[in-house]
Amino acid sequence: MKLISEALQQGHVALDLEASNFPTAVRLTVKRMVDDGLLPDSLESAVVENLLEHEQVYPTAIGHAVAVPHAYLDGLDGQVIQLVRLVEPINLGAPDGVPTQFLFFLLGPTGAASRHIDSVANIARLFSDEEFRYEAGEAASADDLLVALQRSIGRTETGEMVRPAISESLAYTGKLAGGIVLDIKRRWPHYLDDFREGFHPKCLGSTMFLFFACLAPAVTFGGLMAVETNNQIGAVEMILASAICGIIYAVFSGTPLIILGGTGPLLIFTAVLYRLCLDYEIEFLPTYAWVGLWSAALLVLLAVTDASSLMRFFTRFTDEIFAALISLIFIYEAVDKLGRVFVDLDSGGNASENLAAALLSLVLALGTFYVAMSLSRFRRSSFLLPKVREFLADFGPAIAMIMMTMVAMVAVNVHSVPLDALKAPDEFGPTTDRSWSIDLLATPMWARFAALGPALLVTVLVYLDQNITARIVNSPDHHLHKGDSYHLDLGLVGVLMAICSLIGLPWLVAATVRSLNHVRSLATLETVVGPGNETRSQVIHVRENRVTGLMIHLLLGLSLFLLPLLSNIPMAVLYGLFLFMGVVSIGGNQFFERLSLWLKDPKLYPSMHYIRRVERKRIHLFTLLQLSCLVVLWIVKVSKISAIAIMFPVVIALMVPARLLSARFFTAEELAALDAEEEPEEEETHWA
């Protein structure tokens, strides 16, 4: 690294060079070297010609967004190293498919090539560090690059770049609250930095998007819960719970990127519990509170006994099925609500007005989805300046929501089209006429102890939902570097569950889709060009912070004082946002990627590691096993029989033994490829 460090110290850097192709980049860089006195004027054309000829014979893109053009000529007195960062990456056919944004020029006299071999290896190793690649992309000067280099060397020396097979936070300590103590020690050094990281334009875009993305499901799930519980828990309670729990979680949790919220599985469980209360003729809210208190105590007990360490037995197999289920719930809810608008065309009123409202709802939902999807992909466009593209991509969902709301206001006010808007009360208060505090003595003595039965099931559900979402958020694909925190977060969720139970608020847990969208909205992405010019994005850095989570839930709390204004947002726009969140969360789920192979020509399969290692029939069989598990989960979810529906948490837990039993039908080598925690090293070809 010595030569690289010296080059940066001497300022041999050209940042944000505007070049749309390799020859232009070479000519501009060599001219700059001449102007800076690094090369004699007489050798300018010879160096350019040598570099371009060498590129034709031996492409210099080595992967990880870097290429190493080199030339060795008589007349050059010493070695010259120049780092160039392009404004826009160019595709030089790198082995990993990542377009090249950094050019490391190595020049020297004839015979100096051998002295640069170590430099090429060091450059490859350096740029395989995603964190350095991100910092190099953000650097404003050679000094910033030098600091990034020193940090990368430090990570290499301390072994931070080597990911353990099992997260250290999932290790069993054998001590009471041992895991919680280690979580606090692991995260505490980053606490202040979590707030500093939040002061960035990307965080503002994330806050605006996630505010609406959290408000929409809070209102929708709250409305559904009001229907299922006869208005005893509704939208106001859901928004209030989201605000209180979200603020506390953002400040005190170990994984602030996780977003707490109402989820489909918890909604299903609450609805089943309400029906059981009706069957036994006991009051719902006091019984609900006792179930919640028992469950909260059990969750805290699990946290202090390191029960989250059992998550090391969970694999990508379970994560993919669970994430797929949550994504499908979002998509299903959006499509189902839009479908009902058309089903209810003859349910009173003017039929032509109802038809106009239904068609407008469809246009608004699809328009929100289309604009949000288009803008989120705009960062890969060739139009406008990079900063503008980044802004549009970050704020895309919020822009889509505002645009479609304005379209709806014009249709409603000018053309008098009746449209369902977000139903919000005129003033803050419980959905029904009740006190905020719950009378725990209003339920019979036997029911207080019988509540332990449902509490065991909801504990299993919350334990799995929280920890599986945490595993997905902490996936190696996201390159988070501040440490995991499973035990602390589970205990905190238990405490919050007790608070919500005492005041009749819905229970909240890590919301998979919202948490994934939070991570993606804070991510710096890198485009990978695959066979057939297919492109996909991969994360190289996530801005881990507490500010976005704190601001999102503060805004949710403030929205309770602006309830009449929220009634201007059409429900169709929220359904479009639901659809967007569900579809976006599908991306990166390998289960859906393998499922799509059923419809593709085998000759045109992408060159993925599991396709190279496992026979096609065996890949499809593994995918079929996951699909069968997903179908069973869905059947239990939609069951109208309380005794079946309430077993939903147990069915999720059974995914683990299902994965263990698969070892009887698949070899260890096949499972290592199909159920890999992350893509193996050879998937990311490099010279390190």
DSSP string, 325-363: HHHHHHHHHHHHHHHHHHHTTTSSS-HHHHHHHHHHHHH
pLDDT for residue 423: 62
Give the CA radius of gyration of the chain.
Answer: 28
The yes-or-no verdict on residue 679 having pLDDT over 90 is no
pLDDT for residue 686: 34
- Tell me how far apart the alpha carbons of residues 492 and 248 are, in angstroms, rounded to a whole number: 9
Structure tokens at 618: 């065996």
The yes-or-no verdict on residue 421 having pLDDT over 60 is yes
- Tell me how far apart the alpha carbons of residues 598 and 575 are, in angstroms, rounded to a whole number: 29
Q: Dump the DSSP string for 499-544.
A: HHHHTTPPP-EE-HHHHHHHHHHTEEEEEEE-GGG-EEEEEEEE--
Most confident of 159-163, 253-257, 516-520, 645-649: 253-257
The yes-or-no verdict on residue 162 having pLDDT over 60 is no
Domain membership flag for residue 479: yes
- Tell me how far apart the alpha carbons of residues 595 and 624 are, in angstroms, rounded to a whole number: 8
SS3 587: coil
Burial 192-229 (b: 16+ CB within 10 A, else e): eebeebbebebbbbbbbbbbbbbbbbbbbbbbbbbebb
From the number of C-beta atoms within 10 Å of its C-beta (0-12, 13-18, 19+), residue 241 rates as buried
Mean pLDDT of 605-632: 87
- Tell me how far apart the alpha carbons of residues 321 and 327 are, in angstroms, rounded to a whole number: 10
The answer to whether the CB of 577 falls within 8 A of the CB of 401 is yes
- Tell me how far apart the alpha carbons of residues 321 and 493 are, in angstroms, rounded to a whole number: 23
Domain membership flag for residue 652: yes
In eight-state DSSP terms, residue 20 is S
- Tell me how far apart the alpha carbons of residues 361 and 570 are, in angstroms, rounded to a whole number: 8
pLDDT for residue 367: 93
Q: How confident is the model at residue 63 (pLDDT cuts 50, 70, 90)?
A: confident
pLDDT top residue among 38 and 219: 38
- Tell me how far apart the alpha carbons of residues 242 and 506 are, in angstroms, rounded to a whole number: 9
The answer to whether the CB of 308 falls within 8 A of the CB of 467 is yes
Co-location of 185 and 260 in the same domain: yes
254-279 pLDDT, tens digit each: 999 999 998 877 887 888 889 889 88
Structure tokens at 292: 């919640």
SS3 19: coil
pLDDT for residue 302: 95
188-197 pLDDT, tens digit each: 999 999 999 8
Q: Which of 85, 127, 130, 77 is nearest to 105 (CA)?
A: 85
Mean pLDDT of 210-227: 77
Co-location of 120 and 195 in the same domain: no
pLDDT for residue 430: 80
pLDDT for residue 159: 59
Co-location of 271 and 396 in the same domain: yes
Co-location of 495 and 424 in the same domain: yes
The yes-or-no verdict on residue 288 having pLDDT over 90 is yes
Co-location of 373 and 314 in the same domain: yes
Co-location of 202 and 117 in the same domain: no
> Residue 85 belongs to what H/E stretch?
strand 80-90
Domain membership flag for residue 546: yes
Structure tokens at 218: 């809070």
Q: How many C-beta atoms lie closer than 10 Å to residue 148's C-beta?
A: 22
Among 127, 158, 189, the domain-final residue is: 158
Total tally of structural domains belonging to the chain: 2
Domain membership flag for residue 165: no
Mean pLDDT of 49-69: 86
pLDDT for residue 682: 42
The yes-or-no verdict on residue 163 having pLDDT over 90 is no
The yes-or-no verdict on residue 395 having pLDDT over 90 is no
Q: What is the mean pLDDT of the chain?
A: 83
5-39 pLDDT, tens digit each: 888 888 888 888 888 889 999 999 989 888 888 88
In eight-state DSSP terms, residue 599 is G
The answer to whether the CB of 270 falls within 8 A of the CB of 645 is no
Beta bridge partners of 106: 70, 81
pLDDT for residue 529: 63
451-505 pLDDT, tens digit each: 999 999 899 889 988 998 898 898 887 888 888 899 999 999 999 999 999 999 9
Beta bridge partners of 102: 66, 85
CB-side neighbour CA atoms (13 Å) of 386: 9
* 316-343 helix and 616-638 helix, angle to the nearest 10 degrees: 50
Cα dihedral 136, 141, 142, 147 in deg (nearest 10): -60
Structure tokens at 177: 């609250």
Co-location of 274 and 309 in the same domain: yes
pLDDT for residue 568: 78
- Tell me how far apart the alpha carbons of residues 190 and 292 are, in angstroms, rounded to a whole number: 32
pLDDT for residue 251: 95
Cα dihedral 118, 147, 88, 539 in deg (nearest 10): 90
Among 130, 158, 186, the domain-final residue is: 158
Co-location of 78 and 198 in the same domain: no
- Tell me how far apart the alpha carbons of residues 359 and 342 are, in angstroms, rounded to a whole number: 8
The percentage of residues in the chain with a pLDDT greater than 90, rounded to a whole number, is 22
pLDDT for residue 456: 92
Structure tokens at 572: 């169709």
pLDDT for residue 684: 40
Co-location of 491 and 594 in the same domain: yes
The yes-or-no verdict on residue 681 having pLDDT over 50 is no
580-597 pLDDT, tens digit each: 878 887 877 888 888 888
Q: Which of 98, 101, 106, 137 is nearest to 18 (CA)?
A: 101
Q: Which of 242, 217, 219 is nearest to 508 (CA)?
A: 242
Structural domain span for residue 127: 2-158
The percentage of residues in the chain with a pLDDT greater than 70, rounded to a whole number, is 90
326-372 pLDDT, tens digit each: 788 878 888 888 888 887 776 666 777 778 888 888 999 999 999 98
- Alpha-carbon torsion 121, 130, 157, 7, what sign? positive
- Tell me how far apart the alpha carbons of residues 126 and 129 are, in angstroms, rounded to a whole number: 6
- Provide the CA 545 distance to its chain's centre, in angstroms: 14
Structure tokens at 599: 């419809």
pLDDT top residue among 566 and 508: 508
The answer to whether the CB of 107 falls within 8 A of the CB of 72 is yes
Domain membership flag for residue 66: yes
The answer to whether the CB of 180 falls within 8 A of the CB of 227 is no
Among 109, 126, 158, the domain-final residue is: 158
Co-location of 449 and 388 in the same domain: yes
pLDDT for residue 161: 55
Domain membership flag for residue 487: yes
Q: How many C-beta atoms lie closer than 10 Å to residue 22's C-beta?
A: 22
Q: Which of 268, 196, 264, 263 is nearest to 229 (CA)?
A: 268
Q: How confident is the model at residue 390 (pLDDT cuts 50, 70, 90)?
A: confident
- Tell me how far apart the alpha carbons of residues 554 and 211 are, in angstroms, rounded to a whole number: 9
The answer to whether the CB of 522 falls within 8 A of the CB of 257 is yes
Co-location of 513 and 626 in the same domain: yes
Domain membership flag for residue 182: yes
Domain membership flag for residue 572: yes
Co-location of 349 and 494 in the same domain: yes
The yes-or-no verdict on residue 51 having pLDDT over 60 is yes
The yes-or-no verdict on residue 534 having pLDDT over 70 is no
The yes-or-no verdict on residue 506 having pLDDT over 90 is yes
The answer to whether the CB of 347 falls within 8 A of the CB of 496 is no
- Tell me how far apart the alpha carbons of residues 577 and 599 are, in angstroms, rounded to a whole number: 28
- Tell me how far apart the alpha carbons of residues 382 and 670 are, in angstroms, rounded to a whole number: 41
Q: What is the CATH number of the domain that holds 122?
A: 3.40.930.10
pLDDT for residue 536: 66
Q: What is the pTM of this model?
A: 0.75
